[in-house]
Amino acid sequence: MASHRRPKQPSRARVTVLTATAAAAVALTSQAAHADPKPTKTEVKAKVDKLYEEAEQATEKFNGAKEKQEKLEREVDNLQDKVARGQDQLNEQRDALGAVAAAQYRSGGIDPSLQLFLSSDPDDFLQQAGALDQISGRQTDTLKKVQAKQRELAQQRKEAAGKLADLADTREQLGKKKSEVKAKLAEARKLLNSLTAAERAKMAEEQERANRASERAALKAAGGSTAGGSTAGGSTSTGSSANIGKGSGLAGAAFAAAQSKIGSPYVFGATGPSTYDCSGLTSWAYAQAGATIPRTSQAQANAGQRIYSQSQLQVGDLVIFYGDMHHVGLYAGNGQVLHAPRTGTVVRYEAIGNMPFQFGVRI
């Protein structure tokens, strides 16, 4: 007789495991189907270039915070020196009053007003202006000087405290900007490391070729027509008669100094003598020529006479790029600029049309 037993059903636990396994398999298949393809070398380069530009923007903010910190440190030091000198003067004035009190004591007693001054907080006593009438004219003059010195010291201490608070805030901002720059550069390095060794070598070769091409273009412009060199944007400059390296006066001396640093690596926050960022190069160059200009590109944009026409630029003029003015170089003549471009590059010539020109600045 045939058996009619029902087939054994899978346990609930087994069903759960099977279901989970199937779901995981579906998810993995879905992820594999929708996974982003590995970016190409060209895409990586574009992303890295963008990160380098953002890092340079953060670098100029870092430079500004650093400059403010250094200025505040000098101001705080000066104020603290003034307070120390003022305290010494106050002590001398109080010593003089003490001598008067000693003389009065030897002659039979101390003036009550003077005794009150010497035995309590001078501020409390000096608020009682009427008490000054009880003291001799000489003592009155001395007390008034003490009062003025105390007020001056109180103001200086208050100002120093405010500067110290600003300094603490600025140091905090400086740390944040430095971290921001480092984060951008780390992200760029991570992207570069995602490429194969061959791809990285190819990118480095292309960058070196770009450096050489820029230098050749500059040298060609220097020896070519002086009436109008072509720019990278395809337009022709129609007024510059300056050849590369032939500036004059202060600007020419600054340009000559910058020329001596061609090939020096870009390093954020650097002002020489072997590495530079963009505004570090320009401020260093003008310092070699005997002029002090601000540290950051944004501040340098307001350091002299603005020149809005490229045709009016002269060798050594500052050239400001980008809407937020985060990049600066030195005009080299014939549509070229000498600058420290960004991380991964060196001080070099480049066509002015390669970047969004804003205006020049004549120091």
339 assigned to active site: yes
Catalytic one among 4, 34, 326, 327? 327
Residue 283: Cβ within 10 Å count: 28
- Which of 258, 229, 183 is closest to 334 using CA atoms? 229
348-351 and 336-339 beta bridge pairing: antiparallel
State yes or no: is 326 an active-site residue: no
Q: Residue 350: left (phi > 0), alpha (psi -120 to 50), or beta? A: beta
Q: How far apart are CA 355 and CA 322, in angstroms?
A: 7
Q: How many angstroms from the chain centroid is the CA of residue 220?
A: 35
Is 284 exposed, middle or buried, given 0-12, 13-18 or 19+ CB atoms closer than 10 A? buried
Give strand pairing partners of 361: 306, 318
**Would you tell me how many other CB atoms lie within 10 Å of the CB of residue 197?**
7
Q: How far apart (Å, rounded) are the C-alpha atoms in residues 25 and 9?
A: 24
Q: What is the dihedral of CA 353, 355, 358, 359, to 10 degrees?
A: -60
Match 């010195």 to its residue by tokens. Answer: 149
Among 4, 34, 326, 339, the active-site one is: 339
Q: How far apart are CA 73 and CA 170, in angstroms?
A: 11
293 neighbors 329 (Cβ within 8 angstroms): no
Assign 337 to helix, strand or coil. strand
Q: Using an 8 Å Cβ cutoff, are 93 and 149 in contact?
A: yes
Measured from the Cβ of residue 111, the count of other Cβ atoms closer than 10 Å reads 16
User: How far apart are alpha carbons 14 and 185 in whole angstroms?
Assistant: 51
Tokens of 22: 């199937």
* Residue with token string 């273009």: 217
Cβ burial of 318 (10 Å; 0-12, 13-18, 19+) is: buried
Catalytic status, residue 327 = yes
Catalytic site positions: 278, 327, 339
